A and B are shown apart, each in its own frame.
Chain A
Amino acid sequence: MTTDARPLDYGAMAKEAGLTAFVVLLLTIVLVGFELRDVPGALALFTRFPDVLAACLIAFFGRIAVILLREGYRGAVVVGAGAAALLLLIGLLPETLFGTAAAREYAEAYMPFSAPVVRWCVFAAAVFLAVRAALARRSVRADARSREAAADRAGATVQHVARYAGPLLGLCAVALPVALGHDQQAMSVAILVMTYIMLGWGLNIVVGLAGLLDLGYVAFYAVGAYTFALLATTEGIEWSFWVCLPLAGLFAGLAGVLLGFPVLRLRGDYLAIVTLGFGEIVRVVLQNWYGFTNGANGISGIPRPTLLGLSWEEEAPEGQMAFWQWFSKNFWEVQYSATHEKIFLFYIILGLALVVNWFALRARRMPIGRAWEALREDEIACRSLGINPTNTKLTAFGVGAMFGGFAGSFFATSQGFVSPESFVFIESAIILAIVVLGGFGSQLGVVLAALLLIGLPEAFREVKDFRMLAFGLAMVGIMLWRPAGLLAHREPTVRLNAPGKGKTP
């Protein structure tokens, strides 16, 4: 088994592993080692040095395992990591299964970390190492190029699968409320994730297709939200959601075109900086134009959407009927439940997101989509072919902004309240991170990235102290292993000859 193993340099190995442990120590001593807790009447500093020590030891032995794997000693890694995993399993299972205090003490003797999730992550890492060692055919380090090619192949496979998996995923989304409909918390998370998926798809048109790096996307989200909030709450207007939605999108699109004009000549980093500035300008205006936007207090009392005039309240307003009453009258008896409204909201955002998805997929095969991509590749060549770069860029900006506006007006109606707080820069950064993480231009990648970036933190709320740490780790990992994004692969929009995998043009 260790035929292709190279002789080990124990000194170098210890040095490398020690260095890794030292870096982990530096990172964790402040982030993990100390905790400022709010005790009645004061703040108290608690220490968690056992956690730090455990992290360092894990890093040390993990690194040794990685080195052994690299040098070809697979057997040793299988045995070592396997044993570690087994030990952890014995230690961790009782607590998860029985949840008794004794079991918890037993588990904490194994691992000092207070959150079970972290302990299970360590277990998962050990299992991963063991499996990887058992499966690795040869311990050749792939160079960056072949790794990139492999990533592209993986992306291509996923895209081929996506033709069937996409509709399947859509069906899953449609069926989701059936499974989770009773759980209001879960539905809220699902709505949140769906909103980010929609925003990701919208921004993907601007960044992924047209290659215009927009760091102020949240501005259009804000314009949509405020347009809706103002139209729906201003006395004398008070139009319904379904009237305001297209208007909000239209206004946001208009804002996109207006903001797009001055930045047309800019590219890349310069464009990013200016759009970042615009994003902040919009927020600051919303915050300070007190007479119009009610400033930092925000706008409250935004009406919820109705279904053909049916309200989702328990007691419908005068002249309307509540959904549950209507349903009971016409179909079968149901009790009022607050989750009905959540389910309805989920379907609205699902529908909106699917519209964006449909548009993005169709537009790629339209002349405008190809012009966007061509513009991303080479603007000068575009001009020499008679493509109007101004119009092409503005449509990308406008369309992306319009979808952002739709999402914004949905946000306003689902929250019932908007304030400038919701439209800070970090939102733009998260949406952009979703696009980058998923892989520029990949629709399925955006879904995956939104689940990872929005869904996982919600699921791991109990370890919220480490959320930003995990976020950073994930980003570093992506940059190392998948610099082009999780599912980066560009599928041609038109083919002359059918490719090998049985697809007709």
Chain B
Amino acid sequence: MSRPLLEVEHLTIRFGGLVAVNDVSFAAQDRQITAVIGPNGAGKTTVFNCLTGFYKPTVGRMRLLHAATGREFLLERMEGFRIASEAHVARTFQNIRLFPKMTVLENLIVAQHNTLMRASGYTVLGLFGYRGYKRAEAAAIDRAKYWLDRTGLTERADDAAEGLPYGGQRRLEIARAMCTEPVMLCLDEPAAGLNPRESEELNALLRFIRDEHKIGVLLIEHDMSVVMEISDHIIVLDYGKKIADGTPAEIRNDPAVIRAYLGEPEEAA
């Protein structure tokens, strides 16, 4: 196998005396869905926040490889917003973070800010109706349309994002992340609060993203029906440590994982 999209080595994060993530190493491959699972408080979201620049790790290295250009990014050294704009890592949030008063379409256009900003000559040319900007805006709308189609939100394109039902808001957040043209998409509990039918649709969407857009997907999820069905690779965290790493079939039968989720058997204690 070629070099992985993302390599995390010896990642440790301390908050004061609390060790939230303790020496975790893993890799995520391009064109694969990698799931990070674990009981509550295992440190999954903390790992995510590190990868996307919201926290700085105490120790460790996170190396992201752009396969197309061969460029390498050391995420732990980058400022938060540059991880999105230069390394092209996109994320969603556990508690949805849309721009509630803006419309669905505007949410997707804002996601293409950096491209549009360059096209508008950093606003100066755009103000005077520069043609190149109009073309770029039309292209941005086309991309937004594509993702609206994919997520079934075309009908609601001109409604305020806060007016969408919960499942729609989840899908919009994924669409918005995809509009930044990421090489890696990080999803923090995308199936939380979805009904079984919506979960099913989400699975299809994530598979589509992996297969058609050929990017890596990193996923935190509690819903095992989602995890086991679509993941290519699973990493299990417990108390900030990695306790297992493998394919869904391996994880399902891993005694350490069963122990972490179900507790120690009485007689072994």
Closest to A497 in B: B158
Q: Is the CB of A371 within 8 A of B105?
A: no
A373, B99: Cβ atoms under 8 Å? yes
CB pair B91–A366 under 8 Å, yes or no, is: no
- Is A496 an interface position by the 8 A CB rule? yes
How many residues on the A side are at the interface (Cβ–Cβ under 8 A)? Answer: 30
Contact B106 A493 (CB under 8 A): yes
Is the beta-carbon distance between A385 and B111 smaller than 8 angstroms?
yes
A362 at interface, CB cutoff 8 A:
yes
Distance in angstroms between the alpha carbons of A370 and B123 in the assembled complex? 11
Flag the segment in A8-16, A240-248, A280-288, A374-382 that touches B.
A374-382
Contact in complex: B101, A490 (CB < 8 Å) = yes
Q: How many Å from the CB of A356 to the closest CB on chain B?
A: 13
B225 interfacial contact with A, CB 8 Å = no
Which residues of B sit under 8 angstroms from A495, Cβ to Cβ? 103, 105, 157-158
B3 adjacent to chain A (CB < 8 Å): no
Residue from B82, B103, B116 within 8 A of A367 (CB atoms): B116
CB-nearest residue of chain A to B81? A383
- Which residues of the partner chain B approach A178 to less than 8 Å between Cβ atoms? none
Say yes or no for B93: interface residue by CB 8 A criterion: yes
Chain A residues near B247 (CB, 8 Å)?
none
Please encode chain B, from 134 to 165, with 1 for each CB lying within 8 Å of some chain A CB and 0 for all others. 00010001000100100000100110000000
Contact (A387, B141) CB under 8 Å given A366-B120, A367-B123, A497-B157? no
Q: How far is the CB of B105 from chain A (nearest CB, A)?
A: 5
B105/A492 in contact, CB under 8 A: yes
Contact of A492 among B117, B122, B123, B158 (CB under 8 A): B158
B126 and A366 contacting across the interface, CB-CB below 8 Å: yes
Chain B interface size band reads 35 or more
Q: Mark A418-450, 1 if CB is under 8 A from B, else 0.
A: 000000000000000000000000000000000
Contact: A387 with B113, CB < 8 Å?
A: yes
Contacts A370-B110, A384-B90 hold; do A494 and B127 have CB atoms under 8 A apart?
Answer: no
- Whether, in the assembled complex, B180 has its beta carbon less than 8 Å from a beta carbon of chain A, the answer is yes
Known: A385-B111, A387-B81, A497-B157. A359 touches B127 (CB 8 A): yes
Which residues does chain A contribute within 8 Å of B105, judged by CB atoms?
A: 492, 494-496
> For B113, what are the chain A residues with a Cβ–Cβ distance below 8 Å?
367, 370-371, 374, 385-387
**Are B99 and A384 in touch, CB under 8 angstroms?**
no
**Contact of B233 with A by CB under 8 A:** no
Contact of A363 among B82, B100, B109, B127 (CB under 8 A): B127
B69 to chain A, nearest CB (A): 17
Contacts A366-B126, A494-B105 hold; do A377 and B157 have CB atoms under 8 A apart? no
- Bound together, the chains give a CA A374 to CA B180 distance in angstroms of 15
Q: Which chain B residue shows the least CB distance to A499?
A: B158
Partner of B141, one of A363, A384, A494: A494
Which A116-154 residues sit within 8 Å CB-CB of chain B? none
B109's contact among A370, A387, A497, by CB below 8 Å, is which?
Answer: A370
Q: Does B64 contact A (CB under 8 A)?
A: no
Q: Point out the residues of chain A lying under 8 angstroms from B116, CB to CB.
A: 367
Q: For the complex, what is the distance from the CA of A496 to the CA of B109, rounded to whole Å?
A: 12
With most chain B CB atoms within 10 A of its CB, the pick from A366, A367, A381, A492 is A367
Cβ of A322 under 8 Å from chain B: no
Q: Quick one: which of B80, B110, B145, B177 contacts A496, CB cutoff 8 A?
A: B145
| A388 CB-CB contact with B under 8 Å | yes
Q: Which residues in B have their C-beta under 8 angstroms from that of A389?
A: 81
Per-residue interface assignment for chain A, residues 212 to 253, with 1 indicating a CB less than 8 Å from any chain B CB and 0 otherwise: 000000000000000000000000000000000000000000
Nearest 10 interchain pairs by C-beta? A386-B85, A386-B84, A377-B99, A367-B116, A496-B157, A381-B97, A374-B110, A492-B103, A368-B123, A383-B81
Of the A-B pairs whose beta carbons lie under 8 Å apart in the complex, a sample of 24, sorted by A's number, is: A359-B127, A366-B126, A367-B126, A368-B120, A370-B102, A370-B106, A370-B109, A370-B113, A371-B113, A371-B117, A380-B93, A383-B53, A383-B54, A385-B113, A386-B81, A386-B113, A387-B114, A388-B85, A494-B141, A496-B105, A496-B157, A496-B158, A497-B157, A499-B158
* Sample of 6 further A-B pairs with CB below 8 A, known A494-B141, A497-B157: A370-B110, A371-B117, A383-B80, A386-B85, A387-B114, A496-B141
A residues lining the B interface (CB < 8 Å)? 359, 362-363, 366-368, 370-371, 373-374, 377-378, 380-389, 490, 492-497, 499
Chain B residues near A (Cβ < 8 Å): 52-54, 80-86, 90-91, 93, 97-103, 105-106, 109-111, 113-114, 116-117, 120, 122-123, 126-127, 137, 141, 145, 148, 154, 157-158, 176-177, 180
